[in-house]
Structure 1
Amino acid sequence: MADHYETLGVSREATPEEIKKAYRKLARQLHPDVNPSEEASERFKGVTHAYDVLSDAEQRQNYDMGGQGGQGGAGGFGDIFETFFGSGGFGGGGQRGPRPRAERGEDAMIRVDVSLQDVMFGVQRDVTVNTAVLCDVCQGSSCQPGTHPVTCDVCNGHGQVQRQVRSLFGNVVTMHPCGSCQGYGTVIENPCVECGGKGRVRERRTIPIDIPSGIDTGTRLQLRGGGEVGPGGGPNGDLFIEFRVVHHDVFSRDNNDLLCTMQVSMTDAILGVEAKLDGIDGLLEADVPAGTQSGDIITVRGRGIQGLRSTTRGDVKIAVQVTTPAKLSGREKDLVRQLAALRGEEKPYLGEFQQGLFGKLRDRFFKGN
């Protein structure tokens, strides 16, 4: 078996660039489109196989340590299977022509924290993303300004090269991506210095987003074309924004309703009172009727969250907790005793078990008043 380094005419210390340069020089001389002779065809297969092995760091290391470095040009079972099921058996199937340099960019996702205030009616926010954007210098062409990709002189712009495989069925022609241009059909001789020939650079950019009302933790917003620009200036992928509604110190949420607890003094619960409370979107007026008990729910209609894709708002549901004073002056105790005597209130007695305050609140909140 011929030595791959001798086949390409390079030393064993040759750099990848020297190997590629040697291959391109020989390929220009031996390619079937240039030299149709059988001898040139056989040499071209050997040169191409040698380049395939030595241009791959892992295969080259294995070859230098005494390995075979691939199946060789004689056409092993891998070549036969590729012939019938791969990218060009009998001249059919697989990709035709060079592959485009411009590819669609990848999708991106970021997570954004929002407050109940943001969720109430929706809001516009600016978010910052670290993403790939079009290179300002080459505008996605991947070339230095004033230069252009040149047609590959190995595959003549086809992006593929032919190989003849000797098999049990005779000589079969297969198509393979050109090793010189990587299948693009063109070679960038002067890559853009700014982006390294990729047509894009990474950059932090700020984009405005409209946060709709009524969203909840886990809601995702898709911005088409808001993701990374593709290699070679290809179209942008999409940007997905996932929201998380942060904890509020006073209000919690049940769908579009807001839930909270209000402490009411014993006297206000007995006599009734009109309470004025600080809501998320302004003043809340809650009418506490006389005789209110701990666990009662007061509903303020239409002051909750505006629904997603809706103009209807939920309610604010306020659970009452009647507070009993822990310390009374002598005068206050006398007044309470007089009230008890006037009302003829009974002494404590045993009765049917009642749920605790929080159990009653839970049932009333989630099962309705």
Structure 2
Amino acid sequence: MATTKRDFYEVLGVARDSEPDDVKRAYRQMALKFHPDRNPGDKDSEKKFKEAAEAYEVLSDPEKRQRYDRYGQAGLEGAAVHDFRSTDDIMSAFSDIFGGGLFGDLFGERRRGPRPGPDLLMKLEIELVEAARGTSRSIEVSRQEFCSDCRGSGSRKGTSPTTCNYCGGRGQIVQARGFFQVATTCPACGGDGVRVTDPCPNCRGAGRTPSVSKLQVDVPPGVESGMWLQLRNQGELGDIGAPRGNLRIQVVVKRHPFFERRRNDLFCQVPISFAQATLGAEIQVPTLDGPGGVMVPRGTQSGEMIRIKGRGMPDISGRGRGDELVEVVVETPRHLTPRQEELLREFAEIEHEQVSPRRKSFFEKLRDYFTEETETPEISQDT
């Protein structure tokens, strides 16, 4: 994605903390203002119309907006974003926010060529290690192909579809309402402009048959669960002569037995013994590259974090790697041998005589607190 694109918030004229309804309202206003049918031949309006659509697609989607806020344009690399190739693409993508066809109602929408196919959506589960290193997966996609017998026409061999008499082949019925032309899809042909009178027996007039295709998907290092990948022109069929839609793949990263991802850092808990925490020790901890050694300092408290630099997840935009955060959990022994209990009692007696500074401070505060609580306030009584 080009880095020279204007800031999306600037394009729509909204603040970075604007609510979704504000973003939607701003886009509606810009789309109506710069629509090419309202500004015929004006290249600047056409450019602004497309910019507004690109901005709205990102800022209206919570996940894409979060990535854009965090990384800018680089955060949208690999995301499922439309490649708006024409005004019709934009009107088709966002017609739902205009009450099911406001553009067509206001500007007399008309077919401007074969319609591209719709996008296909699917999910892909991967392991955390695959998300860290990147991976390539072979997937099976159920989609349609043009019928091999009729080559997509829907008509029996030797025959052809006939022009729809109801709309005259236009695919739409146009009526004048005041200052505007209102265009609606032809109910007879469904917008195709033609009708199949002698259907193909292989596809029963549909012009297409189901198939299963094998595709290769490249997952970039650092991908997060919920992110979308996109394979262009690998979606569903469009009209004859039009490109396929896109295949949009949502990545789902499986739970890891040790690690929890926190942005680009990896978090895990590692149990250590009382002796290791007190005296310090080198312990083995899990990493994405296998077990690794890390030093536990003397006097480590339960819940303290040890940070291992550069052992986290790679940034999807290629800007470095996060850290691994190891929380040490000091385990209290439940079962002691007589000798262990004897030594621990001896240690407790010595510890009682040599109270540590932290506990001494705590007990002093505790004593002062109870002293204040037990003091009886003097009550003055008027006579």
Q: TM-score, normalised by structure 1?
A: 0.55
Structure 2 Cα separation of the partners of residues 340 and 152 of structure 1 = 97
SS in 2 for 1:282: coil
Give 1:204 deviation, angstroms. Answer: 2.9
Letter in 2 for 1:230: G
- Residues 161-180 of structure 1 mapped to structure 2, 5 A cutoff: none
SS at match of 2:354: coil
Secondary structure of the 1:267 match is helix
Could you give the per-residue CA deviations for residues 157-201 of structure 1, whole angstroms, max 9, x where no partner exists? 9736xxxxxxxxxxxxxxx99999888676656543322333322
Contact 1:138–1:144 (8 Å) recurs in 2: yes
Q: What's 1:159 paired with?
A: 169
Which residue pairs with 2:209 in the alignment? 201
Aligned partner (choices 122, 128, 134) of residue 146 of structure 2: 134
Offset at 1:121? Answer: 1.7
Does residue 228 (structure 1) correspond to residue 236 (structure 2)? The answer is: yes
Is contact 1:114–1:243 with CA below 8 Å preserved after alignment? yes
Q: Give a deviation string over 1:48-68, Cα, whole Å, max 9, x none.
A: xxxxxxxxxxxxxxxxxxxxx
Match of residue 312, structure 2, among 299, 304, 324 = 304
Residues in 2 aligned to 1:201 and 1:330: alpha-carbon distance in whole angstroms: 78
1:260 to partner: Cα distance: 0.7
Q: 1:199 to 1:275 in 2, by over 3 A?
A: same
Closer, same or farther: CA 204–313 of 1 in aligned 2, 3 Å:
same
- In the TM superposition, residue 298 of structure 1 has moved relative to its aligned partner by 0.8
- Cα 1:142–1:281 change in 2 (3 A) is farther
- 2:333 is the alignment partner of 1:325: yes
The equivalent residue for 1:15 is: none
Amino acid at match of 1:159: G
* Structure 1 pair 267–244 and aligned structure 2 pair: CA distance change class (3 A): same
Indicate the residue corresponding to 1:345 in structure 2.
Answer: 354
Match of 1:336 in 2: 344
Distance (Å, rounded) in 1 between the aligned partners of 2:209 and 2:283: 58
Structure 1 residues not aligned, in runs of 5+: 1-86, 88-92, 161-175, 354-369
Change (3 A) 1:194 1:330: same
Label 1:181 to 1:250 Cα distance change in 2 as closer, same or farther (>3 A).
Answer: closer
- For 1:221 and 1:320, the matched residues in 2 are separated by 37
Q: What is the rounded CA distance, in whole Å, between the counterparts of 2:280 and 2:162 in structure 1?
A: 89
Q: 2:200 aligns with which of 151, 170, 192?
A: 192
Gap change, CA 1:193 and 1:270, over 3 Å in 2: same
Which residue pairs with 1:243 in the alignment? 251
Q: Deviation at 1:254?
A: 0.7
The structure with the largest alpha-carbon Rg is: 1
Superposition deviation, residue 231 in structure 1: 4.0
Distance 1:183 1:325 in 2: 76
The one-letter code of the counterpart of 2:327 is: A
- 1:294 Cα deviation (Å)? 0.8
Q: Which moved more, 1:127-136 or 1:208-217?
A: 127-136
Cα distance change, pair 186–325 in 1 and its aligned pair in 2 (3 A):
closer
* Cα distance, 1:257 vs structure 2: 0.4
Counterparts of 2:207 and 2:308 in 1: how far apart (Å)? 57
Compute the displacement of 1:148 (Å). Answer: 5.4
1:285 aligns with 2:296: no
Give the SS at the match of 1:270: helix
TM-score calculated relative to the size of structure 2: 0.53
CA RMSD of aligned residues (A): 3.8
**Cα distance between partner residues in 2 of 1:273 and 1:182:** 75
| Equivalent pair of 2:162/2:197 in contact (CA under 8 Å) | no
Is the Cα contact below 8 Å between 1:302 and 1:314 reproduced in 2? Answer: yes
Q: What stretches of structure 2 of length at least 5 have no aligned partner? A: 1-103, 171-183, 367-383
Report the identity percentage: 33
Query: Quick one: structure 1 residues 143 and 217, their matched pair in 2 at CA, closer, same or farther if it must change by over 3 Å?
Result: same
The CA distance in 1 between the partners of 2:185 and 2:308, in whole Å, is 70
Count of matched residue positions in the alignment of Structure 1 and Structure 2: 244
Give CA deviations for 1:57-107 in whole Å, capped at 9, x if unaligned: xxxxxxxxxxxxxxxxxxxxxxxxxxxxxx9xxxxx8869xx86x532112
Separation in 2, partners of 1:230, 1:126: 24
